[in-house]
């Protein structure tokens, strides 16, 4: 199982939000490239990045910071936030990203997601962000009446590389992940699922491993890594046992 440390970008800085609220942002590092290198030096093989400003703007807004990260590390990087057309997808993948994460556009333009999955096999992931079981879009600011599994099933035959499921109510709140909902989604779809939101301790990682039974591809954690509750090197080693 893969451990994905998270770098969320706001105004070029590494931040963490609470419940996706841009007004509740804590800056943890003003040098994303240095932070990425620290994660790579700790043995992380993947990095999860989100362009928060881009998610709200509907277009990339932290390209300089992302490019600096890609230049600083050799590990695989996946990026979401504001990626909503083929030109942007092609541009990011051409600059060295391993995966783009498509979220809002999966609801707004599912045909584009299918086109991207076909054009770039294994390099397009779905980002499904949910509040109370329903998908939220536009940087989590807008709720829909679409249930998570309903959206995911639309793309089962599209060839998506992974499905990143974030429980907004748990994200940044340090209350533990919504493991039940994540595993239920993993049971419902054939796409590999990555858990995100609320992973706040090594005990949370152990709970994921104990309940997983081979269903999850990996786990994303942000705030807990920055405040020292989760040591990246230890997390990588622990989750490697579930491989």
Return the active site residues.
8, 129
Structure tokens that stand for 240 in this block: 């490697």
Separation between Cα atoms, residue 143 and residue 46, nearest integer Å: 30
Report d(CA 188, CA 210) in Å as an integer.
19
CB 52 within 8 A of CB 17: yes
Angle at 182 (CA atoms; ends 108, 113), nearest 5 degrees: 25
Angle among Cα 39, 3, 212 to the nearest 5 degrees reads 170
Q: Do 14 and 7 contact (CB within 8 A), yes or no?
A: yes
């Amino acid at each position: 199982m893969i451990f994905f440390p998270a770098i969320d970008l706001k105004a070029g800085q590494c931040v963490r939000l609470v419940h996706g609220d841009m007004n509740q942002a804590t800056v943890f590092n003003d040098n994303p490239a240095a932070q990425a290198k620290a994660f790579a030096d700790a043995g992380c093989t993947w990095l999860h990045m989100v362009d928060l400003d881009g998610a709200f703007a509907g277009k990339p807004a932290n390209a300089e910071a992302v490019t600096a990260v890609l230049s600083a590390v050799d590990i695989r990087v996946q990026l979401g936030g504001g990626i909503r057309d083929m030109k942007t997808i092609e541009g990011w993948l051409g600059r060295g990203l391993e995966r783009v994460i498509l979220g809002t556009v999966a609801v707004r333009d599912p045909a584009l997601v299918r086109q991207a999955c076909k054009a770039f096999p294994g390099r397009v992931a779905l980002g499904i962000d949910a509040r109370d079981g329903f998908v939220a879009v536009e940087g989590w600011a807008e709720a829909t009446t679409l249930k998570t599994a309903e959206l995911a099933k639309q793309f089962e035959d599209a060839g998506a590389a992974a499905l990143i499921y974030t429980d907004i109510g748990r994200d940044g709140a340090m209350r533990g992940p919504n493991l039940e909902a994540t595993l239920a989604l993993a049971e419902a779809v054939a796409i590999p699922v990555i858990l995100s939101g609320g992973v706040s301790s090594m005990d949370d990682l152990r709970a994921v491993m104990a309940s997983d039974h081979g269903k999850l591809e990996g786990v994303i954690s942000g705030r807990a890594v920055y405040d020292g509750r989760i040591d990246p090197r230890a997390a990588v080693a622990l989750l490697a046992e579930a491989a």
